[in-house]
Structure 1
Amino acid sequence: MAVTSMASAPAAARVPRRGRDPDGLWRWLTFAPALLLMLFLSVLPLVNLFATSFFNITWEQGQGIWTFVGPTHYQGLLSDALLHAGLTNTLIFAFLAVTGQMVLGFMLAYLVSRIERGKVLYRAIFILPILIPGIVIGAIWKLMMNYDFGLLNQFIGLFGLGPHDWLGNASTALLSVVIVDIWHWMPFCFLLFLAGLESLPQDVFEAAKTDGATAWQELRYITLPMMLPTIMVTFAFRLILAFKVFDEVYLLTGGGPGTATEVLSFTLYQRYFTEDRMGYGSAIAVMVIFLICLLLVMAAGLRRATEARS
């Protein structure tokens, strides 16, 4: 009995007391610079943006004059017709663009994952659009959709159809921007889906083939359920990025014709930079951040619900 207690004493002495972490202080000291830098670069600008939204800022002799107006700017959001058009077009754009990217990206990833040879070549070809700078994409598609000599009008001319002003007609301008965005960002969905498909356990598919399952049954009952977490993450990423679209609208249509392609980010740009309404533009920015955070919460909830079902 004495031997047992003596042998266990050194082991008990080596166990640190509960609630005491000898390395905790060192970890906090090494983490503190990164934490302070993150607070300085993210939290402080957000606080400043929120505070600015309660002021009306004018300029006299190079000096900014701040006038407190309270929640007036937020009340003005309710009656801003341009903002309402931007919100509506953003919702339509996000739904159409993300749906097209998800469907096409998954189809291409599924087809590439099932081939044996040339997979690297197909992968390199399909990711090319995402590597092209936005300004180049705007120039390419603006030339292709040109009314006088664009490739699209030359193509439909082969079938006896007249030229169409794709970017200047209110009925097709937003759809044209959606098509460009699908072409640009579909490779992002393709890469994530391809990585997810290649990481699936192959023994499940071998067992399904042994039981006589067809390719459609494998896709419906095995592949899609196992890919749901990847699908939800990809959907969340693309929905948030689509909600912040700006460059394609700015380069292709400039928000026109009229308000046909007006989106939230472009409305913010006009109010803040073009009209120099910094306080009101800050209020729009706060609203956009709130909507994006709401989308994040919804996406996280959908992901948890999906993982709970699986």
Structure 2
Amino acid sequence: MEGDGQRLWRWLTFGPALAMMVALTVLPIANLFLTSFQNVTWADGKPTRTWAGLTHYEALFSDQLFSAGLWNTLVFAFAAVAGQMVLGFAMALAVSKITHGRVFYRAIFILPILIPGIVIGAIWKLMLNFDFGLINKALGLVGLMPHDWLGSSETALLSVIIVDIWHWTPFCFLLFLAGLETLPQDVFEAAKMDGASAWQELWYITLPLMIPTIIVTFAFRLVLAFKVFDEVYLLTSGGPGTSTEVLSFTLYQRFFTEDKAGYGSAMSVAVIFLVALLLVIALSARRRTGATS
């Protein structure tokens, strides 16, 4: 009876949180999935739903804007996350070696992540401005010609990637620093006694021990990178052309600009499936590394 009472108490305490999760997560996703098979039109402020079957999903394969958004999102996500992880790990490794002033450097390095997205967009749009931006002013000081960073299809996506790297590297830095501070120090002391160099210590001890943290950080940032919207919206609005068109911005256009709720829902389901697939792959890799370590 005591066990039944404890079980009932757990359900009573966990029930409200479970109900809220279902109401705010499961039901909206189910509605999104249902809407993806329908055409939604509005008349007198009321929606009219008609069955469309797989029409919206079939249209995804011929939608050039969706294809451009998918490709740009993949390039953006992997390039930005790779840059953030390399810089974040280097910064964390440097701070972990500092004995004095570690709190000061940590506070300085995490400043970009504390700035609101709208402010970051304004800062970088001014810095990358063709006429009076600081970047072009610096190029002029060394005798180089100014460049239209956000208005050129060759550099627009690269510019957004650089802004995202600057913005989110502190996130990777914090996770890597936390991982480095939990590594067993006796392993490093034994390596130093055996005469291991700093490079050997990094390559053969630090990196293997940090693989689980690296995989988790990569998974977190990859999922967040697939949802990028504010930086693209504020800096380029998807242009010039489709050079910075990403999936989140395409969804915004379909839902709110073109009022295609059914087609936008199908696109959303496709994006959710892709992100879930990448997350499963990352977690599977994390589980395998945990099993072999």
TM-score band by shorter chain is: over 0.9
The Cα of 1:62 is off from its aligned counterpart by 2.0
Superposed CA offset, 1:184-236 (max 9, x none):
00000000001111111111111111111111111111111111111110000
Does residue 126 of structure 1 match 2:109? yes
The residue that corresponds to 1:147 in the other structure is 130
Q: Secondary structure at the match of 1:23?
A: helix
Which of the residues 155, 158, 161 maps onto 2:141? 158
Which of the residues 133, 151, 159 maps onto 1:168? 151
Aligned counterparts of 2:213 and 2:5: Cα–Cα separation in 1: 39
Q: Matched residue pairs, number? A: 293
Does residue 29 of structure 1 match 2:31? no
The residue that corresponds to 2:250 in the other structure is 267
Aligned counterparts of 2:41 and 2:123: Cα–Cα separation in 1: 40
Aligned counterparts of 1:41 and 1:61: Cα–Cα separation in 2: 28
Aligned counterparts of 2:5 and 2:131: Cα–Cα separation in 1: 74
The residue that corresponds to 2:84 in the other structure is 101
Larger Rg, first or second structure (1 or 2):
1
Aligned counterparts of 1:206 and 1:142: Cα–Cα separation in 2: 48
Superposed CA offset, 1:237-295 (max 9, x none):
00111111111000100000000000011111001111000110011111111111111
Does residue 85 of structure 1 match 2:85? no
Equivalent position amino acid for 1:184 in 2? H
Aligned counterparts of 1:240 and 1:253: Cα–Cα separation in 2: 22
The residue that corresponds to 1:10 in the other structure is none
The Cα of 1:21 is off from its aligned counterpart by 4.1
Equivalent position amino acid for 1:35 in 2? L
Q: Secondary structure at the match of 2:42?
A: strand
Aligned counterparts of 1:25 and 1:59: Cα–Cα separation in 2: 46
* Identity across matched positions, percent: 72
The Cα of 1:134 is off from its aligned counterpart by 0.0
Equivalent position amino acid for 2:85 in 1? M
Equivalent position amino acid for 1:275 in 2? E
Superposed CA offset, 1:85-140 (max 9, x none):
00000010011100000000000100110011111111000000000000000000
The residue that corresponds to 1:227 in the other structure is 210
Which of the residues 240, 261, 267 maps onto 1:278? 261
Does residue 258 of structure 1 match 2:245? no
The residue that corresponds to 1:248 in the other structure is 231
- Comparing 155-164 with 247-256, greater Cα deviation is found at 155-164
Aligned counterparts of 1:63 and 1:211: Cα–Cα separation in 2: 75
Which of the residues 199, 202, 221 maps onto 2:182? 199
Aligned counterparts of 2:217 and 2:233: Cα–Cα separation in 1: 25
Q: Secondary structure at the match of 2:41?
A: strand
- Comparing 22-31 with 47-56, greater Cα deviation is found at 22-31
Q: Secondary structure at the match of 2:210?
A: helix
Superposed CA offset, 1:43-94 (max 9, x none):
0101111111111111222222211111111111111000000000001001
Q: Secondary structure at the match of 1:117?
A: coil
Superposed CA offset, 1:154-173 (max 9, x none):
00111211110000000000
Equivalent position amino acid for 1:262 in 2? E
Aligned counterparts of 2:272 and 2:193: Cα–Cα separation in 1: 51
Unmatched segments (≥5 aa) in structure 2: none
